[in-house]
Amino acid sequence: MNTLLRFCIGLPETSFDAGTVLIAEDGGRGPLIILVEGGVRVARGDMEVSRCDTPGTVFGEISGLLDIPNTASVIATSEVRAVVVENSREFLESHPKIAFHIASLLADRLHKTTDYLVAATSQVSGADDPIVELTRTIEAIAEGRRESTTP
């Protein structure tokens, strides 16, 4: 069992039908969602960012920790069971093991993002306008065209 799910034993779970929006982008400060079972897709605007069916995956943590509106939508792609925490900040303050685990996940994401940005920036270091070239490279990666746009 996933470490985070072990910390959630005994917390109430909620079920969602496929197609249900668990978190709405820019819909205010939503709940903290911990996936127990099922699949979801994450979207920002019209772009699908990822799909996930890994038990213990957390959604809504950025909104809860930074007290900002949700940065993406989370939509059930199948029947889903999840732990739903409405007051995420209060919950994390009262559950330090869960908060530490989420902090570790966020630190790992930041580390990987930094590595990605360094690698992408190095690909465009000799370009006339590195920012424009970096933007093109990132767009190419997002569209699935992994090749560099630099000559």
CATH number at residue 68: 2.60.120.10
Residues 73 and 133 in one domain: no
Task: Give tens-digit pLDDT for 110-145.
Answer: 888 888 777 777 776 666 776 777 777 777 776 665
Q: What does pTM read for this prediction? A: 0.76
- 64, 120: one domain: no
Q: Which of 65, 58, 87, 74 is closest to 26 using CA atoms?
A: 74
Whether residues 55 and 20 share a domain: the answer is yes
Pair (79, 17) in one structural domain: yes
75 plus 116 within the same structural domain: no
Q: Are residues 112 and 84 in the same domain?
A: no
Cα separations in angstroms, 138 against 40, 111, 128 = 24, 17, 17
Number of domains in the chain: 2
Residue ranges making up the domain that contains 36: 1-94
